[in-house]
């Protein structure tokens, strides 16, 4: 269903551990966009954690079987006389790509955003669902059997 390939992810994690996520007042690539992915019934569900991201700052693109999620966490407007004491929440633009298998119907993805979680529901393609195949015998009527692909 889902092919997970991100060769630079471990390198990014190591860099963040050594140098920190970002220095106060600077923008850098935030920590990984965490996700859960599972199949339920005839659909595949992917949920991304995007706390503090406005829905209008999220972009979803599908090209062939590659799904790209881009999000931007913007700084909170603080005002002129505000002195930041702690700034640990990463800011900036970040993205994640998923390589979707041929068994998913990428033309009918449903996306919703609630409480900082972006949820994508991707239907299983008709060609991937189990179906019956008729077997005919020269002297009798066709029999039905279950076949799965």
**In the prediction, which pLDDT does 24 show?**
45
Q: What is the dihedral of CA 124, 101, 96, 33, to 10 degrees?
A: 60
> DSSP 3-state assignment of 9?
helix
**In the prediction, which pLDDT does 75 show?**
81
Domain ranges of the chain: 2-147
Give this prediction's pTM: 0.66
**In the prediction, which pLDDT does 22 show?**
46
pLDDT, one tens digit for every residue, the chain (149 residues): 555 556 666 666 566 555 554 444 444 555 568 999 999 999 999 999 999 899 999 999 999 889 999 999 888 777 788 887 777 777 888 889 999 988 899 999 999 999 999 999 999 987 766 778 888 887 766 556 665 54
User: Alpha helix (H) ranges present in the chain?
Assistant: 9-19
* Cβ atoms of 120 and 45 closer than 8 Å: yes
Largest CA distance in the chain: 91
The CA distance from 31 to 90, in Å, is 7
CATH architecture designation of domain 2-147: Sandwich (2.60)
**In the prediction, which pLDDT does 137 show?**
83
Closest CA to 31 of 78, 82, 71: 71
CB atoms closer than 10 angstroms to residue 4: 9
Sheet holding 43-49, edge to edge: 35-40, 43-49, 117-123, 110-114
The CA distance from 120 to 112, in Å, is 7
Q: What would the two tokens of residue 64 be?
A: 């062939």
The CA distance from 149 to 139, in Å, is 28
**In the prediction, which pLDDT does 8 show?**
64
**In the prediction, which pLDDT does 25 show?**
47
**In the prediction, which pLDDT does 127 show?**
73
Token pair 């503090």 is found at 52
């Amino acid at each position: 269903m889902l092919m997970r390939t991100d060769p630079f992810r471990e390198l990014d994690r190591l860099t963040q551990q050594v140098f920190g996520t970002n220095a106060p007042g600077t923008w850098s690539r935030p920590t990984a966009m965490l996700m859960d992915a599972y199949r339920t019934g005839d659909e595949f569900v992917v949920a991304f954690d995007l706390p503090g991201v406005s829905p209008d700052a999220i972009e979803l693109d599908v090209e062939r079987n590659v799904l790209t999620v881009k999000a931007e966490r913007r700084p909170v407007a603080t005002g002129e006389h505000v002195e930041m004491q702690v700034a640990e929440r990463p800011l900036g633009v970040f993205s994640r790509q998923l390589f979707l298998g041929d068994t998913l119907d990428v033309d009918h993805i449903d996306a919703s955003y609630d409480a900082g979680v972006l949820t994508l529901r991707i239907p299983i393609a008709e060609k991937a669902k189990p179906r019956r195949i008729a077997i005919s015998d020269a002297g009798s009527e066709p029999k039905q059997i279950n076949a799965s692909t």
